[in-house]
Amino acid sequence: MSIATRFTWAGIRRGLRASPALVVAGLPFGVVTGLAAQSQGLTLAEATLMSMFVFAGSAQLLAIGAWTAPVSVLSVGLASFSVNLRFLLMGPLLAPWLDHLRGWRRGLSLFLLVDHNWALSLREIKAGERDAAYLIGSGAPLWITWVACTIAGHLLGSVVAAPPGHPVYFAGLTVFIALLLPMWRGLGDLLPWAVAGAVAFSVSRLLPGSSWHIVVGALAGGLAGGLRDRWRRS
């Protein structure tokens, strides 16, 4: 007989205790986002509000990188949409918790869902943990730190201007690479990953200065992965 899903303060406290390592890992990412926002001309208020209400590091960096005057809403929107498509696969794995939440509990859990606490929550679910409040407990400190680091990065950028191509901007890239490692499931993933990388690189050469390489690369990798799975089933 399975244990019913719960949502308690004890679960929130469990998530809080698990969050320090995630917070430390996200510090440079948030600072770089603030630096990038400042370098693109966003005000401190604009950068802060973006981090408060978007709370998606990869999407924010892509949007900031594609920021032009005037802003191409279509290009920025498609780039952000494509990089966040992974949540369509990540979310259902948390169904043992999310399916039993309603109202603000589900909404806040989804708002605070990022790659880091998703991985921890998935581990908890596999271990038989039924307290869904863990997701909020582990996500809230990440949100607070993210906003604070964005502010710090923006203020730092106004004092010490880092030129384009400065090594500090590669901190975000290293975070992306680190997040890929636990997603690797074996040589079967080599095909879609290679296709996505090759297509994205080719499009970036053909359309420099745009974000279309991210969109096209993501779609190409997803198509390759779908074809791979179909071949395996046949």
pLDDT tens per residue across span 94-117: 999 999 999 999 999 999 999 889
Nearest Cα residue to 140 out of 4, 5, 13: 13
Is the domain of 172 the same as that of 200? no
- DSSP letter for each residue of 38-94: HHTT--HHHHHHHHHHT--HHHHHHHHHT--SS--HHHHHHHHHHHTTTHHHHGGGG
What is the number of structural domains in the chain? 2
Task: Assess if residue 1 is contained within a domain.
Answer: no
User: What residues pair up with 6 in beta bridges, in sequence order?
Assistant: 131
Do 223 and 207 sit in the same domain of this protein?
A: yes
Q: Are 134 and 8 in contact (CB under 8 A)?
A: no
The average pLDDT across 155-175 equals 69
Asked if residue 2 belongs to a domain, the reply is no
Distance, in Å, from the CA atom of 71 to the CA atom of 62, rounded to the nearest integer, reads 13
d(CA 150, CA 63): 15
Same domain for 79 and 21:
yes
What is the structure's pLDDT at 185? Answer: 72
> Based on the domain organization, do 90 and 192 belong to the same domain?
no
Asked if residue 133 has pLDDT above 80, the reply is yes
192 and 139 co-located in one domain:
no
Same domain flag for 141 and 34: yes
| Mean pLDDT across 31-39 | 88
The answer to whether residues 64 and 108 belong to one domain is yes
Q: Is the pLDDT confidence value at 224 over 90?
A: no
4 in a structural domain: no
pLDDT confidence tier of residue 169, bands split at 50, 70 and 90: low
Per-residue pLDDT tens for 186-220? 777 888 889 988 998 998 888 876 667 777 887 88
96, 18: one domain: yes
Does one domain contain both 117 and 215? no
In a domain, 135, yes or no: yes
- Residue 221 lies in domain: 185-234
Neighbour-count burial of 80, counting CB atoms closer than 10 A to its CB (0-12 exposed, 13-18 middle, 19+ buried):
buried
Same domain, 18 and 35: yes
Note whether residue 171 is domain-resident.
Answer: yes
What CA–CA distance (Å, rounded) separates 20 from 198? 36
- Can you name the residues that pair with 131 across neighbouring β-strands? 6
Are both 57 and 165 inside the same structural domain?
A: yes
Which region, left, alpha or beta, applies to residue 209 given φ > 0 means left and ψ of -120 to 50 means alpha?
left
Q: CA 163, CA 124: separation in Å to the nearest integer?
A: 43
Q: Which among 202, 197, 207, 225 is positioned nearest to 86, based on CA atoms?
A: 225
Q: Which two tokens stand for residue 229?
A: 């799975």
- Name the residue type at position 95: A
